[in-house]
Structure 1
Amino acid sequence: MTTLVVILAVLAAATLAGWLLTRRSGRIREIDAGPQRDTGDDVAALGLSRDGPTVVHFSAPWCGPCDRVRRVVDQVCADLGGVAHVEIDLDAHPDTARRYAVLSLPTTLIFDADGRQRYRSSGVPGAADLRSALKPLLA
């Protein structure tokens, strides 16, 4: 009987830990830009648009959820218009990923037309959340 209770307690703890780790997945959070810095390197390294916001997402061929991010971002960019979309392969550009502290895939960054990073999401962002983050940057 004690063994059964221990097993159930471990399963409950593991389930709770998994839920806590994944509940923030895909949430778009605003970045505190802090002091203004030169964004010329960002524009060159990431291929950012100077005409409007740019959604940059880091992916890899072996990343299953990255396909879902691509579909969501493509759809939102097509719906809104004026939003550039850049996909960066983590395996091909590890230094760029390190520079932006990409620790997991998929990771999505949103930059404004001035090249400043404004939002970040780890996981698959929801289309509505992505739209809400991008609309003010189009104004």
Structure 2
Amino acid sequence: MRVTDAIEIAESELEERFVRASGPGGQNVNKVSTAVELRFDLRANTSIPDYARDKLKRLAGRRLTLEGIIVIQADRFRSQEQNRADARSRLIELIETSLERPKLRIKTKPSRGAREERIKAKTVRGRVKKMRSQKVDFD
């Protein structure tokens, strides 16, 4: 299963279990195991870079087991084949999201005008507060 040009997941790294799905489907839901449980062993995989592996662990959240296996359950559709494709596409989407590197922030300083504007605003605000605190006697 190809994720990107550089990353490919071998079929041996994926394990699919078919279970009975809940929800609508009539008698079909009681007879046929259409829901798919896709298991991907993240610890055994070597094609995903380390920086993406750490991010993938965070993104997986509850779907990541203590053994390092990502479990994706798909039961959106009534057919097994559609649920298989759905589970695989969700895994690919998760891996692609983990590969995105955060945009580096370039530190900047406030301009001279912005600093002067801030000081001016503080002065004005201070004057307003000072006026409020002074008692005025009207004799």
What TM-score does the superposition give when structure 1 sets the normalisation length?
0.26
More strand, by proportion: 1
What TM-score does the superposition give when structure 2 sets the normalisation length?
0.26
